[in-house]
Amino acid sequence: MSNLAIWFVTGSQHLYGPETLEQVAANSQAIVEALNASGKFPVPVIWKPTMTDTDAITGLSAAANADDSCVGLILWMHTFSPAKMWIRGLTTLNRPVCHFHTQFNRDLPWDSIDMDFMNLNQAAHGDREAGHLHTRIGLKRRVVVGHWSTEGTLAELAAWSRVAYGWRVLQTTKIARFGDNMRYVSVTDGDKVSAEIQFGFSVNGFGVGDLVEKVNAVSESAVDALIQEYLSLYDVAPELLPGGARYESLRDAARQEIGIEAFLVEGGFGGFTTTFEDLHGLNQLPGLACQRLMAKGYGFGAEGDWKTAALLRFIKAVSTGQTGGSSFMEDYTYHLEPGNELVLGAHMLELCPTIAKSRPRLEIHPLGIGGKADPVRLVFDAPAGPALNASLVDLGHRFRLLVNTVTAVDVPPMPNLPVGRALWKVDPDFQTGVSAWILAGGAHHTVYTYDVTADQLAEFAEMAGIEVVFIDDLTRLRDLQTTLRANEAYYR
Ligand code: MN
């Protein structure tokens, strides 16, 4: 995926003559340079020659479709570009589009403005002509408005680019499912064929025995090296240190991590699921391994939850290079103090340490479920601040993405709960937010992120062609129920 790029396409027409078209090309190249220099984009933005006729646009569209490295297209009409020229190309394009409504000059030169200036700076009407056609053909696109030099505009364009990049990654993601679903659980199950048709990612099952083979084949020297990495990154409990009473358990955990990663790398997988009901041949539930592989960018879902694994892989890709962190999460238990209701998010073991607010501790404790040896895990608290939970649910005839913005608060000491923990208040308030989540059929498993925004998830839903439902500070229960009913009709 290293050669991925976004194409920057400028529209014009022949009417203006070569001199103006040269200026148009130079101006759009200057914009592309500024975008790349901003350092905000997940992949390079590549300048494409100015489009001035139907055949060129059709050719560009075919080239984009055929080029695996093309993540999406930014379109901008520097001058007027009669939009019927774009019909053939845009109706066959299968890449995400962002319509960038900008103008090369920021300020009007009041004293010198003349018709030459007017002929060059035509986005105000040229982009409206384009937008009309986009609407007419039902083109799915984002519209970003503003001068290309301003921080906010660049940030918006970059946010879209991140989603387009994540979408490209997700479309080719392979998820390995070790074991099947946790028995009898509904929300983690679903239609994997429909998912592949809708999103492109594939989910296939593997016997845990194949994984055990990889784990057992790990060399002692590889385990030694990984233990050194653990010692440098985490505060390790004394009993897990070399020579400590439980050191062998840490070596087992390291072996699991290397074995699972080897399996994923060999098969080209971008995510995986486990289930504690199928661990034959693994002597402890993989906790540390899942935590660390998430931190490396793999999607993960516990109990066979392949939808959350895929969503996490997507969100990890969207937030490439960002530092807030994203994790597999479960709404575990509540603090129901009136007026200060909180959700405690955790899992048996598997939260991603990218959301740790300080250096994680590596510990070993019994697990009262699964009947295996005590698992090693990273223990940490997630930081206070704005975050969100996202859940991808299968409604049988379609997928719904459910997004709840939350405010994380400081996690108080919980000495007897040695797992990764996050604590948050849901928007708009506990009763409304949780009622809405339950009415919308949201899962108890989510992706929890400090990096990816609700707007970006709206963009993702648009690209993927799925329903998205927001529970945020503006949510009123009656309106939400009306929305759900309307969506039921719209997506039928
Ligand atoms: Mn769970």
Give one DSSP letter per residue of 139-186, joined into a string.
--EEEEES-TTSHHHHHHHHHHHHHHHHHHHHHT-EEEEES-PPTT-S
How far is ligand 1, taken at its centre, from the CA of residue 248, in Å?
Answer: 27
Q: Is 473 exposed, middle or buried (0-12, 13-18, 19+ CB in 10 A)?
A: exposed
How far is ligand 1, taken at its centre, from the CA of residue 318, in Å?
Answer: 24
Token pair for residue 35? 């975008």
For helices 306-318 and 192-199, give the axis angle rounded to 10 degrees: 20
How far is ligand 1, taken at its centre, from the CA of residue 304, in Å?
Answer: 9
How far is ligand 1, taken at its centre, from the CA of residue 397, in Å?
Answer: 24
Spatial distance between the Cα atoms of 198 and 401, rounded to a whole number of angstroms = 13
Instruction: Using the predicted structure, report yes or no on whether residue 88 has a pLDDT greater than 90.
Output: yes
How far is ligand 1, taken at its centre, from the CA of residue 7, in Å?
Answer: 40
The pLDDT score that the predictor gives to residue 110 is 97
Q: Give the pLDDT mean for 455-484.
A: 97
Spatial distance between the Cα atoms of 428 and 430, rounded to a whole number of angstroms = 7
How far is ligand 1, taken at its centre, from the CA of residue 254, in Å?
Answer: 23
How far is ligand 1, taken at its centre, from the CA of residue 342, in Å?
Answer: 19
Q: Give the pLDDT mean for 385-411.
A: 97
How far is ligand 1, taken at its centre, from the CA of residue 84, in Å?
Answer: 52
Token pair for residue 302? 């516990």
How far is ligand 1, taken at its centre, from the CA of residue 331, in Å?
Answer: 9
How far is ligand 1, taken at its centre, from the CA of residue 423, in Å?
Answer: 17
Q: Give the pLDDT mean for 267-271.
A: 98
How far is ligand 1, taken at its centre, from the CA of residue 31, in Å?
Answer: 47
How far is ligand 1, taken at its centre, from the CA of residue 69, in Å?
Answer: 36
Distances (CA, A) of 142 to 75, 94, 121, 145, 364: 10, 15, 22, 10, 48
What does the radius of gyration of the chain's CA atoms come to, in whole angstroms? 25
How far is ligand 1, taken at its centre, from the CA of residue 348, in Å?
Answer: 7
How far is ligand 1, taken at its centre, from the CA of residue 100, in Å?
Answer: 41
How far is ligand 1, taken at its centre, from the CA of residue 15, in Å?
Answer: 62
Instruction: Using the predicted structure, report yes or no on whether residue 398 has a pLDDT greater than 90.
Output: yes
How far is ligand 1, taken at its centre, from the CA of residue 345, in Å?
Answer: 11
Distances (CA, A) of 40 to 35, 72, 170: 8, 16, 21
How far is ligand 1, taken at its centre, from the CA of residue 39, in Å?
Answer: 37
User: Please, which residues have CB less than 5 A from ligand 1, an ion?
Assistant: 302-303, 330
Spatial distance between the Cα atoms of 473 and 481, rounded to a whole number of angstroms = 16
How far is ligand 1, taken at its centre, from the CA of residue 30, in Å?
Answer: 50
How far is ligand 1, taken at its centre, from the CA of residue 349, in Å?
Answer: 10
The pLDDT score that the predictor gives to residue 492 is 82
How far is ligand 1, taken at its centre, from the CA of residue 303, in Å?
Answer: 6
User: Band of the pLDDT at 135, cuts 50, 70, 90?
Assistant: very high
Residue ranges of alpha helices (H) inside 296-448 are 306-318, 430-439
User: Band of the pLDDT at 372, cuts 50, 70, 90?
Assistant: confident
Spatial distance between the Cα atoms of 448 and 420, rounded to a whole number of angstroms = 13
How far is ligand 1, taken at its centre, from the CA of residue 446, in Å?
Answer: 9
How far is ligand 1, taken at its centre, from the CA of residue 182, in Å?
Answer: 9
Token pair for residue 400? 């719904």
371 vs 51: which has the higher pLDDT: 51
Instruction: Using the predicted structure, report yes or no on whether residue 85 has a pLDDT greater than 80.
Output: yes
The pLDDT score that the predictor gives to residue 416 is 96
How far is ligand 1, taken at its centre, from the CA of residue 286, in Å?
Answer: 14
CB 52 within 8 A of CB 14: yes
Distances (CA, A) of 259 to 219, 226, 248, 399: 10, 12, 16, 33
Percent of the chain with pLDDT over 90: 96
Local structure of residue 421 (DSSP, 8 states): B
Q: Give the pLDDT mean for 392-413.
A: 97
Instruction: Using the predicted structure, report yes or no on whether residue 459 has a pLDDT greater than 80.
Output: yes
Would you give the end-to-end CA distance of the chain in angstroms? 35
Q: What is the DSSP string of 244-257?
A: STTHHHHHHHHHHH
How far is ligand 1, taken at its centre, from the CA of residue 377, in Å?
Answer: 16
For helices 151-171 and 454-464, give the axis angle rounded to 10 degrees: 50
Q: Give the pLDDT mean for 285-307.
A: 97
How far is ligand 1, taken at its centre, from the CA of residue 72, in Å?
Answer: 35
Burial 309-336 (b: 16+ CB within 10 A, else e): bbbbbbbbbbbeebeebbbbbbbbeeee
Q: Give the pLDDT mean for 307-332.
A: 97
The pLDDT score that the predictor gives to residue 368 is 78
For helices 208-216 and 247-267, give the axis angle rounded to 10 degrees: 120
Residues near 328 by beta carbon (within 8 Å), at least 6 away in sequence: 290, 294, 300, 301, 302, 308, 309, 312, 347, 350, 351, 352, 445, 447, 448
Instruction: Using the predicted structure, report yes or no on whether residue 244 has a pLDDT greater than 60.
Output: yes
How far is ligand 1, taken at its centre, from the CA of residue 427, in Å?
Answer: 23
Instruction: Using the predicted structure, report yes or no on whether residue 33 has a pLDDT greater than 60.
Output: yes
How far is ligand 1, taken at its centre, from the CA of residue 368, in Å?
Answer: 14
Q: What does the pLDDT look like over 162-211, one tens digit per residue?
A: 999 999 999 999 999 999 999 999 999 999 999 999 999 999 999 999 99
CB hemisphere CA count around 179 (13 angstroms): 21
Q: Which of 134, 70, 78, 85 is nearest to 101 (CA)?
A: 78
Spatial distance between the Cα atoms of 214 and 207, rounded to a whole number of angstroms = 12
User: Band of the pLDDT at 2, cuts 50, 70, 90?
Assistant: low
How far is ligand 1, taken at its centre, from the CA of residue 396, in Å?
Answer: 21
How far is ligand 1, taken at its centre, from the CA of residue 425, in Å?
Answer: 20
Instruction: Using the predicted structure, report yes or no on whether residue 307 has a pLDDT greater than 90.
Output: yes
CB 453 within 8 A of CB 159: yes
The pLDDT score that the predictor gives to residue 1 is 56
Longest dimension (CA), the chain: 83
Token pair for residue 473? 């500070």
Residue type, 102: T
Task: Write down how long the chain is.
Answer: 492
For helices 306-318 and 454-464, give the axis angle rounded to 10 degrees: 110
Spatial distance between the Cα atoms of 465 and 171, rounded to a whole number of angstroms = 13
- Please give the backbone phi and psi of residue 295, each rounded to the nearest 5 degrees, phi first: -65, -25
Whole-prediction pTM value?
Answer: 0.96
How far is ligand 1, taken at its centre, from the CA of residue 87, in Å?
Answer: 48
Q: Mean pLDDT across the chain, nearest whole number? A: 96
Spatial distance between the Cα atoms of 310 and 202, rounded to a whole number of angstroms = 9
Local structure of residue 355 (DSSP, 8 states): G
How far is ligand 1, taken at its centre, from the CA of residue 302, in Å?
Answer: 6
Q: What does the pLDDT look like over 338-369, one tens digit per residue?
A: 999 999 999 999 999 999 999 999 999 998 77
How far is ligand 1, taken at its centre, from the CA of residue 282, in Å?
Answer: 19
Spatial distance between the Cα atoms of 199 and 440, rounded to a whole number of angstroms = 21
How far is ligand 1, taken at its centre, from the CA of residue 201, in Å?
Answer: 22
